[in-house]
Each structure stands twice: as C-alpha cells, then as structure tokens.
Structure 1
Amino acid sequence: MYDLLKGLRVVEGSAFVAAPTCGLYLAQFGAEVIRFDNIGGGPDFRRWPLADNGSSLYWEGLNKGKKSIAIDLTRPAGREVAQRLAAAPGDDAGLFVTNFPVDGFLSYEVLKALRPDLVCVRVMGWADGSQGMDYTINSALGLPLMTGPADDPRPVNHVLAAWDLLTGAYCAFGLVSALLARTRTGQGREIRAPLSDIGAATMANLGFTAETLMTGRQRQRMGNDIFGAFGRDFATRDGRTLMLLAITPKQWSKALEALGLTSEVAALEAELGVTFATDEGLRFTHRARLYPLFERAFAQRTAAELAPAFDAGGVTWGAYQPLEAALEDPRLYKDNPVFEDVSHPSGLNYPAPGAMATIPQDRRGQVKPAPRLGQHTDEVLAEVLGMSAAEIGRLHDAGLVAGGDGR
C-alpha cells in the first residue's frame, strides 16, 4: 500500500476481473475503495479457486484493501442506496467503477442527475453493449489460432485473462485522468472501456493487424518460437528446460560464447552470406539452421553448468518451473517485499501482494486483506451517506442491507 491517492473515495459496483482489478490498483495506491455487492454475494463471490471451506481465493485476492457493503440490489430501495453511494458528495468522491450495463439503474445519465460532475469508468464486453468476456474477445481476435504447436490446428486459450487485466489497469489510468481533468474544469464524464476495443487496439499497437493487412493472413503458429527474434526453449543434459532469448547484439554474442558456438555460427554465416550479430530478424529467418546447433550445445551441458555461465555473460535466460517451485524463488515470492503474510477472510494465512510498483522514496504500507462481505455496511451508510443509527436499523429490518455477520 502507498498513500499517493489517500483521501480519494472510489465506489465500485462490479464482478469478475477487469473492474475489480481497477479498484484493487486504486486501493493499493491509497484510495478508499467501497465495493457494493448483492446480499449473499455477486456472481463472482464463490468463483474458483476455492479454499477447503468454500471461500473464494479469487474474490479475496481481487478485493484486498477494499471496504464492503451488502445491498439488496433486486429491489428499488436497495438500488437507490447504491445510486446514492456512487454519487455521494465530496471533492474527492463521485468516482465510480463498474461493469454494470450502460443502461439501467447505474447508467451514467441516472447517476449524473444525482451528481453532475460524476466520473464513471465502465468496463464493457463489446462496444455495442453485447456480452463479451476475456476468452470470447480473445477468440474473436484470432490469438488462440496463433498459439500452440505448429502441427496442431486446434485453438489454444491462454490461461491468463490478459484483456481483463489490461482493461482494469487502463480503467485505473482513465479514472485518475478524468479526475485530474475535473479538478481543472469541474466537468464529470463517463469513460467506457470495452474489452473488445482494448484487445483490438492492443493488437494494432503491437503490429499484428498491420502485418495481417500486408500479408493477407494472420501470423502462423510457431510453438514456443519468439516471433521476429531468436528465442525458444531448449533441453539440457539433465532434463531441465531453459528459455533462451537473444534480441540485442550483446545478448546474441554472449549466448554464443557461453554455449561455445561462436565458431560454428560464424561458419554458418559464411555459408549463408549473412551476419546474425546485428540483425535479430535474420536469426529468426534462419532459425531452422540455428536451432540444431543450440539444441546440441544445450544437450551437452547441465542446467547447473549453464546457469553460472549465462549469468556471468549477461545472457537473457530463464528456467521453466511449476508454480510450486516459483513460490520458493526469492526473486518472485519467498523474499519479495511486495508480498506479506496476511490473514484472509477465508480463515487462511498466506502471502498476498500489495502495490506491484516499488517507490523508493515512500514507505511501503501494510497489505490489507479483502473484507468480509458486508463488513463495512453500517460504517459506509453512516459516514458516506450520513444515515443515523435508526435509519440504518430500518434498512436492516427491511432486509435491504446486510452486515458482515449476514444481518
């Protein structure tokens, strides 16, 4: 946790990955993020992976450091409470993150009537309002048909929800940008962030679309080869698999030195009439001739022999390892100051990350766990909406809100 956004109040009405990720990032930089959910939990409250007691590890991971209020969103009076929260007064409030539909009780027009300078960031599937989630957007973009072994035509879905995560980060950037503009002009606005547009624009930014327009077809599958450069997985004598990447001239020359391939590659260059040292594209073009040399060199050495040689030469490489091994890696988890042992709502204690960035000038604050569902219901109603204890009691009696104990 850092305090860069301390004093900001962000209300979040969301589910799944993209919008909660936006709220998570804002909370980790110091904003007060209040998430409202339906009583009993929204559609992501029991999402896998689950603890043995049925608690969602997914939900408590994406909602760290937030406050929780539980509201009956199926009834008009409960929806009014959510609307009032989103549009609550305050110079550093009126900031709303959601993936609820464009139209409906949380539409921008409805909320703007309550607070004209409201800033709303809205995650969408498709820009036309159609249903869309990460994996369906990904399939439409063609990426699963570019991923996987070259000799297998079946589509391969990536296990990482990349478009959700990119969208969540983009929404956090968009909200802070709109807030900065509001401080200058007093104007609120709605920012719509469809996964489809984030995905399509990213593909264009990376040159995928221009490449296809020029060639008339999308990029072919090539297994683990790195497109346009020299990079692939190689097996060592002791059965380990290492990833080697050589993009810059230095990376290339040091890799050749460490593997004892300088003279063999020079002979191949003379045969082909090319120089690999300064052109990564040539290494990619002639990779079918280069790979056998590298495969043989790797197969003659163990990972324990290669690792110090690679490190001494500044070679860019990495070992393939399962997550259980990564958890013991001091650079990733075990000794990483980003992580801290936390007691979670599930009753489990395990390391959880705070802000992913490190700010050397600022002290890193304590990682805060996710709340219990409805844990802050009474606090939020009193402090944000100014309700009296009697008013809050009547809402509980009517079943319109619930606390962390389910009442």
Structure 2
Amino acid sequence: MYELLKGLRVVEGSAFVAAPTCGLYLAQMGAEVIRFDNIGGGPDFRRWPLHENGASLYWEGLNKGKKSVAVDLGRPEGREIAQRLAAAPGEDGGLFVTNFPVEGFLSYEKLQALRHDLICVRVMGWADGSQGMDYTINAALGLPQMTGPVGDERPVNHVLAAWDLLTGAYCAFALVSALLARMRGQGGREIRAPLSDIGAATMANLGFAAETWLNGQQRPRMGNDVFGAFGRDFTTKDGEKLMLLAITPKQWSKALEALGIGSEVAGLEAEIGVSFADEGLRFTHRDRLYPLFERAFARKTAAELAPAFDAGGVTWGAYQPLEAALEDRRLFKDNPLFEAIQHPSGLTYPAPGAMGTIPQDRRGPVRPAPRLGEHTDEVLAEVLGLGSGEIARLHDAGVVAQA
C-alpha cells in the first residue's frame, strides 16, 4: 500500500463487490477504512470461493487493509452506531461508502442531519432504486448477445464482474473528487453510482450505443475476432492457441514479417485493390486474410513462433490456464505487487497491494483483511469516544461484538 491518503477516515457499510472494491482501493492508498457488518457477518461474509476450512477467499481478498466493526444492524441502537460512525466528526472524516438503499436508516438525509458536510458515495443497481446486480445489468445491456461463437443464439455471460469493478473504481475517484471540493469550501454531497448508469455510459463512451443507434441493430457475434481491427486466436503446428493482435501499421508489418507471409498479403492487396495499412480494411477483409495466417501458424510450433514474434515486437499472447499464470513471472511469480501474508482464515498465500506502481514512493507491506469485529472496541473508543463502561454495556446487550 501507499500513504497518499494517510489520515483520511472512510467508513464502509457494504456487501458484495462494487462498494467493497471502492474501500479496498482507498485503503491501499493509505486511507483508514472502517467496515461495519452485522454480527456474524453480512451477506458476503461466506461467499464463494471458499477454502475447505470454510473461509471466504472472496471476503479476504476484497477487505484487505480495512478495520472491522461488528454491530447488530437489526436493532435501533446498532443502527445508531452505524449512523454515528458514518457521520463521525473530524476534518478527514465524514466519508461514507455504501450500497445500502437510498431510503432507510443510512439515507443521506438522516446522515447529513448528523454532519452537514458528509460525503456519501452510494452504489446502486438501477438508478430508479430497483434491484440490480452486475450480471443482470450486463444482460440488459446486450453484451451476452454479442459474446460467444458465431451462429449460436444462446447468451454468453462473462465470468468477470466488470460493471461491479468499474463502479468500485469510479466510486473511489468520485469520493476523492468530492473531498477535494469539500476542502475548497463547497460542502458535502451524496454521489449515487448505479451499475446501470455506469454500464450504459460505458457502452456509449466506447461507441457501442452510437453504433446501434445509427445502424438500427447491435453488433453481431464474432467469436474471438477483435472488432474493427485484425486480431484472433490461431493454432500452431503443435496445437497451441496463440492470440495475435495487429492494430497499428507497425504491429501489422511486424506480424507479416515474423510469419513470412508479406508477399502473399501483398498479392491479396493487389487483387482486392486496397492497402492493409488501414486497420479497418484488415477487419473488413479478415475472411480473406485468416487462411493465410492459419497456414502460417500451422507450419510452426509455438516454441518457434514465440522468439520470432518477440524479436519483431509482435503483439501476441499465449492462452494459458490460471495454474500456468500463477507461474508467469510477469503476472504473479516474482511480481513485487504480491506478498505472501497470513490471512484471518489462518491460511498463507500471496495477496496484491496497490495495483499502481509509484516509482517515487515505497510500496508498503500488504495488510490482510480483518477478522470480523476485530476493531470494534478500538473504533468505538477512538472514533465515537465511548468509554470502556459504555462499550462493555453494548457488548453485554449484544449490540456489538468483538472478534
């Protein structure tokens, strides 16, 4: 982690992916992130993947570096504690990340009554408050009908929670932006970030929406073809599948050179009357180009092609399972981003710190996720100023719990 946000106190009341990701990124940049959960854990505390000992690897991954408070949110006194944490005083406090509903005990109006300059970033499903999650929003956007093999009408869901992750990153950016505005005297505010709006805006930003608006129909399935450029998987002589991508003229020329098919492609250009220096034309005529590349790949093994591609600066990649990726020095093995630490489950395995590298700063050690309720007494005392007697009373009443 880094210390760019050291001194900031962010309170998180959340579950699942988007909001916890926001808190994770802020914690990895040095903020003190305090997460409150129901005693016994929220709806994501036992979420898969689970280790055989029952620990959620998912929960450990998304909550690294945070503090944990366990409180009974079903009781008025427990809800009051959550409200007071979100709106606790301090120049660097009053920052709240949540995916709780717009209305209810964590509504902005109720929290703002406790602190007028509160900043709240609220993850939502649909902008109208309807229930929605990554996979249902993705289904509504049309992407599953664009994904998958040509000629197959079944929708294909991708396994990456892309809208959750994008929303979490956007919320971290939005919170820091709102904090900068507050520091300039512009007060607090609530920022609502629905997955539906993040998804729709992204589809528009990338041209997907405009393409469909103007053409009257969405983009058809293209299998593994890269839209608008030359890119696809090809099979080598020894059966390995390699991804080749040629977007720029240099990438294209180097690929032809490495594969030894420059003259064949030049002949095709002369026949059609085009120049494949244009990436759009490479895409338009890909069905004529693919056989030339398929034959070239089939003549050589992956071990022969790899050094030729690398020597020419060709953009390519091998398909490999995660087991192999874990041994890849550029990804996991020997990557300084990762550090083997002991997690609250008692397991020891590598975990990443802040994803960005700041050459001018030292990346600090990776901090594990907390045990549920590990910091309950500390936070109640230091943030809310409660005395030991009051904290003991709350424990005795079952309102809060310590790990």
Cα gap change, 1:271 to 1:186, in 2 (>3 Å): closer
The answer as to 2:327 corresponding to 1:322 is no
| AA aligned opposite 2:106 | L
| AA aligned opposite 1:115 | R
Task: Specify every segment of 5 or more residues in structure 2 that has no aligned partner in the other structure, as ranges.
Answer: none
Instruction: Provide the secondary structure at the position in 2 that maps to 1:288.
Output: helix
Name the counterpart of 2:352: 353
Cα separation, 2, equivalents of 1:34 and 1:67: 5
Instruction: Provide the secondary structure at the position in 2 that maps to 1:53.
Output: coil
Cα separation, 2, equivalents of 1:51 and 1:67: 22
Cα separation, 1, equivalents of 2:86 and 2:273: 66
Cα separation, 2, equivalents of 1:149 and 1:309: 30
After TM superposition, the runs of 4+ consecutive aligned structure 1 residues lying more than 2 A away are none
Cα separation, 2, equivalents of 1:183 and 1:352: 34
1:228-275 per-position Cα deviation (integer Å, ceiling 9, x unaligned): 000000000111100000000000000000000100000000000000
| AA aligned opposite 2:292 | L
1:174-193 per-position Cα deviation (integer Å, ceiling 9, x unaligned): 00000000001150000000
Residues paired across the two proteins, number: 403
Q: CA deviation at 1:346?
A: 1.1
Q: After superposition, where does 1:95-106 map in structure 2 within 5 Å?
A: 95-106=95-106
| AA aligned opposite 2:293 | F
1:343-364 per-position Cα deviation (integer Å, ceiling 9, x unaligned): 0011110000000000000000
Instruction: Provide the secondary structure at the position in 2 that maps to 1:257.
Output: helix
Name the counterpart of 2:270: 270
Q: After superposition, where does 1:4-403 map in structure 2 within 5 Å?
A: 4-277=4-277, 279-403=278-402
Cα separation, 1, equivalents of 2:93 and 2:305: 55
Instruction: Provide the secondary structure at the position in 2 that maps to 1:381.
Output: helix
1:175-219 per-position Cα deviation (integer Å, ceiling 9, x unaligned): 000000000115000000000000000000000011001110000
Q: CA deviation at 1:381?
A: 0.3
Cα separation, 2, equivalents of 1:223 and 1:350: 36
Cα separation, 1, equivalents of 2:83 and 2:213: 46
| AA aligned opposite 2:349 | Y
Cα separation, 1, equivalents of 2:59 and 2:108: 26
| AA aligned opposite 2:211 | E
Cα separation, 1, equivalents of 2:207 and 2:336: 36
Cα separation, 2, equivalents of 1:77 and 1:210: 51
Q: CA deviation at 1:289?
A: 0.4
Cα separation, 2, equivalents of 1:229 and 1:135: 28
Cα separation, 2, equivalents of 1:111 and 1:44: 24
Instruction: Provide the secondary structure at the position in 1 that maps to 2:144.
Output: helix
TM-score, L = length of structure 2: 1.00
Cα separation, 2, equivalents of 1:222 and 1:9: 47
Instruction: Provide the secondary structure at the position in 2 that maps to 1:114.
Output: coil
Instruction: Provide the secondary structure at the position in 1 that maps to 2:70.
Output: strand
1:149-181 per-position Cα deviation (integer Å, ceiling 9, x unaligned): 012110000100000000000000000000000
Cα separation, 1, equivalents of 2:167 and 2:289: 39
| AA aligned opposite 1:327 | L
Instruction: Provide the secondary structure at the position in 1 that maps to 2:350.
Output: strand
Cα separation, 2, equivalents of 1:387 and 1:350: 37
Cα separation, 2, equivalents of 1:358 and 1:183: 27
| AA aligned opposite 1:179 | L
What value does the CA root-mean-square deviation take over the aligned residues? Answer: 0.4
Cα separation, 2, equivalents of 1:186 and 1:243: 50
Q: CA deviation at 1:368?
A: 0.2
Cα separation, 1, equivalents of 2:389 and 2:361: 42
1:116-173 per-position Cα deviation (integer Å, ceiling 9, x unaligned): 0000000000000000000000000000000000121100001000000000000000
1:279-337 per-position Cα deviation (integer Å, ceiling 9, x unaligned): 10000000000000000000110010011000000000000000000000000000111
Cα separation, 2, equivalents of 1:153 and 1:315: 34
Cα separation, 2, equivalents of 1:146 and 1:84: 46
| AA aligned opposite 2:23 | G
Cα separation, 2, equivalents of 1:48 and 1:72: 24
| AA aligned opposite 2:297 | F
| AA aligned opposite 1:389 | S
Cα separation, 1, equivalents of 2:276 and 2:117: 58
Cα separation, 2, equivalents of 1:394 and 1:250: 71
Cα separation, 2, equivalents of 1:54 and 1:318: 36
Instruction: Provide the secondary structure at the position in 2 that maps to 1:325.
Output: helix
| AA aligned opposite 2:92 | D
| AA aligned opposite 2:28 | Q
Cα separation, 2, equivalents of 1:265 and 1:255: 11
